[in-house]
Structure 1
Amino acid sequence: MGSGPPPPFLVTSEMKRLLPWTLGLAALIAAPATAGDIPVNSTLLKIIETVEVPAQQAGALDKMQVREGTIVDRGELLAHIGDKEMELKLVAKQAEHAIAQREANNDVNIRFSRKSLEVSQAELQRALDAIANFPNAVTQTELDRLRLLAEKNRLEIEQSSEQQEIAKLTANLKEAEAAITGERLAKHKIVAPIEGMVVHVFRRVGEWVDIADPVVKIVRIDRLRAEGFVRSEEAAIGLEDRAATVRVSLPNSDQLVVPGKVTFVDPEVDPVNGDVRVWVEIENADLKLRPGLRVEMSIAGDDDKETPPAEVTVDK
């Protein structure tokens, strides 16, 4: 009996239902999860920090220290809202504090009361000594007066000490009032909360600003974030804190190689292509990199988890 062609392979409905799951499992088993660097697709440089610096007091701008493109440090003065009345009020509060402080340090009354007590006690002792030698040398009325005078001087010491303590508390109060006024006046200074580049100035000198109105917009450009996508099976091996390398090809320049570290792995998988979003932060000390650039990026494999030193190299 001759051998004919093999019968066709029949695919049942149950096999069709299990086929996608079977292929997905095979892909996971075959994927090189830890071998070599992990490529990152569609990587784009983005800004990490952007701040619109608001006014903290209402008033007219009398100084603007920056313009678009100015590089500023944290705490640097950006603009100033004028308020002559508040400045004079601070001077008055500081003067009141100085007066109260001098009163708190003044112990003349205490020293005088102590000296008066010494004199009255001496007089009382002489009277008592005289009575001991001559019983009728001092009348009872005079003796009572001397005792009363000594007691009065003792109480005057207590009173002077209490007044000095009150004066110290008053000085503390005046100091706090001056500090409050100083804080209010300090809010007329608009300072940079981060270091970066001024990219927009919303108000000009002479314009009125209200509380919370944005005055200056600053972006941090010395540290950037590279955002890209990896396959979901590669994200499952634990990429957080893994070392990464970003390669940037700049026009008319050699390729820059910048080390970084994975700071975020999105827990959600894209249902369309199965990719997972990852973030890598890199230093931009020379400010050669610009947000919006498309770059090449790879994440170190499982054999090399250490973050490389934060320096930029150039591929020739």
Structure 2
Amino acid sequence: MRDIFCLATTFLILPNLLLAATVAVGVTEPITTVSLSMTETGRVETITVTEGSRVIAGASLIILDRRIEELDRRSKKIALEDRSAITELEERINILSDQLEKARTLLADGGVSHKQVQDEQIALMTAQSQLLALREKKRREAIDFDLAEENYERRQLLAPTEGIVTQINVAIGETVTPQETIIELVNVSEIKFRGNFSVADEGRFEEGQDATLRVWQNGQELQRHAVVVYVAPVADPSSGLIEVIAKIENQDLSVIPGTTAELIDTRQDVQ
């Protein structure tokens, strides 16, 4: 059963006019909370963060032992970068092409036979086929190197988003398995408000509208600009409450998520 929040009424005082503002009561949440795990089994070699570390998206968090993957990557890279056989064949093809042209010139003067010209053509075609095969081999080696790179990179855990590390469940030297949660990452640079307002209220929140978040923490009241991103299309039949969700910028981390808050519709419809 959905939680039922107590509703409050806020009044906007204007000269000679008292307006009741629609208020939703709810809680603040981090914009994302992510449980991270490895995709490979392995022994933890390096932990680059501690609990409380603030990281950016793409930051390295944990590295598994990957000496075997490193050796495989280096081996594949050496094979891919070795172009000596291709260079040799390209030079040979240039020589054979010159020889074929000279043989054709001599054939016109009767200096060589048709058989000699055909032999030169066959030698050139063979070298060209060998060069084509070597280039195809290099393409396969490029794919092998990409796979080796991928296997190497999969041995480290990267942050999928910016945030703060709140929990580390592994130590250096321990073995981890796939799908085992080893790090909790919370992004509080943006806050989500989730609450309810009464269907009986005169006003109604609308998606995309501006609103004000009011929260009490550390003995003081904080107010922040909010944008409504979701309003439930139906009310809860047992309580008559409508769910509303809003987002609030929190780059300075001044709002601590997990606290009770109010979302106030500050629009004023004055005749």
- The two structures have a TM-score, normalised by structure 2, of 0.85
Q: Deviations over 1:212-236 (max 9, x none)?
A: 2222110111111112211225599
Conserved 8 A contact 1:53-1:218: yes
Distance 1:105 1:295 in 2: 71
- Work out whether 1:293 is the aligned partner of 2:259: yes
Distance 2:266 2:219 in 1: 29
Mapping 1:1-316, distance limit 5 Å: 38-99=21-82, 101-106=83-88, 107-127=90-110, 146-233=113-200, 239-251=206-218, 255-301=221-267
Q: 2: CA distance between counterparts of 1:235 and 1:90?
A: 66
Please give the alpha-carbon distance, in whole angstroms, between the structure 1 residues aligned to 2:142 and 2:19: 65
CA contact (8 A) 2:191 2:250 kept: yes
Matched to 2:98, the amino acid is K
Quick one: distance in 2 between partners of 1:36 and 1:213?
53
CA contact (8 A) 2:24 2:244 kept: no
> What is the CA-CA distance between 1:119 and the residue it aligns to?
2.9
Higher strand share: 2
Residue of structure 2 in register with 1:139 after alignment: none
Residues 62 and 81 of structure 1 are in contact (CA less than 8 Å); yes or no, is this contact kept in structure 2?
yes
The offset of 1:117, in angstroms, is 1.0
Question: SS in structure 1 opposite 2:188?
Answer: coil
Contact 2:38-2:179 within 8 A present in 1 as well: yes
Rate the CA distance shift 1:121–1:250 in 2: closer, same or farther, 3 A.
same
Q: How many residues align?
A: 252
1:98 CA drift (Å): 1.5
Task: Give 1:108's aligned amino acid.
Answer: E
Find the residue that maps to 2:173 and give its secondary structure: coil
CA distance in 1, matches of 2:118, 2:38: 62
Specify whether residues 112 and 271 from structure 1 end up closer, same or farther in structure 2 by C-alpha distance, changes over 3 A only. same
Given that 2:35 and 2:183 are in contact with CA atoms closer than 8 Å, whether structure 1 keeps it comes out as yes
- Write 1 or 2 for the structure with the bigger share of helix: 1
For the pair shown, the structure with the greater C-alpha radius of gyration is 1
Alpha-carbon distance change, 164 to 243 in structure 1, aligned in 2, over 3 angstroms: same
Query: Post-superposition shift, 1:105?
Result: 4.4
CA distance, structure 1, for counterparts of residue 262 and residue 205 of structure 2: 21
CA distance in 2 between counterparts of 1:302 and 1:152 reads 94
Deviation at residue 76 of structure 1 after TM alignment = 0.2
Which consecutive unaligned segments of at least 5 residues does structure 2 have? 1-17
Deviation, structure 1 residue 293 = 1.7
State whether residues 165 and 184 of structure 2, in contact with CA within 8 Å, keep that contact through their aligned partners in structure 1.
yes
- C-alpha deviations, 1:184-225, integer Å up to 9, x for none? 110001010111111110111100011222221101111111
Paired residue type of 1:248: V
RMSD: 2.3
**1:183 and 1:84, CA in 2 relative to 1: closer, same or farther beyond 3 A?**
same
What amino acid sits opposite 1:151 in the alignment?
Answer: Q
| Change in 2 beyond 3 A, CA 1:89/1:303 | farther
8 Å CA contact retained: 2:214, 2:223: yes
1:6-46 deviation line (CA, Å, top 9, x unaligned): xxxxxxxxxxxxxxxxxxxxxxxxxxxxx967432322111
Q: Counterpart of 2:182 in 1: which secondary structure? A: strand
Rounded to whole Å, the distance in 1 between the matches of 2:204 and 2:219 is 38
